[in-house]
Amino acid sequence: MTNDMAALRRMERHLLGTAQEANYLVDLSNVVRDRALGGGSARELRRLRLVLRALRESTGDRDVTVHGIADNSLLHPRHDGEFPDPAEGALLREWRDRGLIAAIDKADPDLLDHARELGTRVISSDNFTGHRSEHPWIQGDREHFLRPEREEGGRVRLVLRDMRVFADREISREGERDTLKARNLLDFQGRPRSNVLGRSWRCPHPDCRPSPAIQRGKVVCRTHRMLLTDTGPRRRRIQLKMFVDGTCHAWENITEGPEGQDREFVLGRGHFVRIDECHLSGERRRRISREHLLLICGRGALWVLDTSTAGSRMRTVRPGGEPTAWRALPRRGTGAAAAPGERAPRGFGPDDEIELVPGVVLRRSGQRWPEERAEGVRAKPPRRPAGGEELTSPG
């Protein structure tokens, strides 16, 4: 083992503690845990050696440098037994302490921020699906990601990746999985812990809408780390995402009525005030009616009627397929003059999108367990007018 550790230490000349000066970025947790690169252990630093060798060969640069970022969990001493030699875990911690690698709770956000700002290529087999809302540049990228692949004889080569374009609901669902994993809310088979997520919880801290997490086998508030009290079954929620010119800027959660009863909600101009005017101009905002859509939520499904003055339309966008033609939404008819089909709402499915006004689109999120808070906005806190409008139940 002494010779093996000496070989691993020779990698140090390629490691840089700052991303700005490195030639490449390495997703350390992904590489070290990638069994497809060879070896029989769950974690092996030898895989990093193979990647660095492939870099030297592909670039012709014997002094090529990388900035490696790892999740803290990769370095935790309790996992040392998963390496061929427990000294490998200790070596990783030494590298962190000497500033040769970076280790944080979740490596992906920093890794992608560096790649976006610096244009440096990332070595990883991860699709980063859950991060594509914050990093839309990943969609369809063919220049910035390299995947290590094992060849015959055990050598590794680096292949330029096509990151493909993922549907928004896939991005939402994978982002939710990343969040649940960080909160220890996936079981040993990677499934959401519905026994926790399907319940409502109360935090001892006043005015807290808690997000549950599991810590040492107990359900605690993710923010305050205090034990939560189970207050009964949680009503099912559907999350709606608000897009302006292709980018999601805000979202709303709507909740079913008690015991699965249908509930009606009005969505209109007041729900878009949280989006900054640099994204949604006052002129376009005013074209959204105060009561633009009537949404009917129940039994896990969603239906919609148009109640606007300008009219709205819907189309279906299935992954890998061409969008259907836009169709006008049925309008909410009243009185004897209403046409026979006007009052029948249309189903609003996971692959559908609704255009309220040109460039302003509503889609369903892929999340199954939206957070307790009813609304959100990207990058800055929500803004409401005085006495601001909320999703309301008509009548």
User: What are the pLDDT digits (tens) for 140-154?
Assistant: 999 999 999 999 889
User: What are the pLDDT digits (tens) for 119-139?
Assistant: 999 999 999 999 988 898 999
Q: What tokens appear for 35 in the block?
A: 């069994």
The pLDDT score that the predictor gives to residue 3 is: 57
CA angle 131, 362, 194 (to 5 degrees): 55
Number of H helices, E strands in the chain: 9, 21
The pLDDT score that the predictor gives to residue 259 is: 75
Cα(241)–Cα(377) distance, rounded to whole angstroms?
10
Cα(277)–Cα(284) distance, rounded to whole angstroms?
10
Q: What tokens appear for 235 in the block?
A: 């009503």
The pLDDT score that the predictor gives to residue 1 is: 54
Contact 185, 214 (CB under 8 A): yes
CB burial of 198-236 (b: ≥16 within 10 Å; e: otherwise) equals eeebebeeeebebbbbeeeeebbbbeeeeebeeeeebbb
Residues composing the chain: 395
Below-70 pLDDT ranges, the chain: 1-3, 260, 333-343, 372-395
The pLDDT score that the predictor gives to residue 257 is: 82
The pLDDT score that the predictor gives to residue 142 is: 95
Cα(367)–Cα(182) distance, rounded to whole angstroms?
16
The pLDDT score that the predictor gives to residue 230 is: 96
The pLDDT score that the predictor gives to residue 171 is: 87
The pLDDT score that the predictor gives to residue 74 is: 96
Whole-structure pTM value: 0.71
The pLDDT score that the predictor gives to residue 343 is: 60
The pLDDT score that the predictor gives to residue 209 is: 86
Contact 170, 129 (CB under 8 A): yes
Contact 30, 124 (CB under 8 A): yes
Four-CA torsion 269, 275, 276, 282, nearest 10 degrees: -20
Four-CA torsion 223, 227, 231, 234, nearest 10 degrees: 50
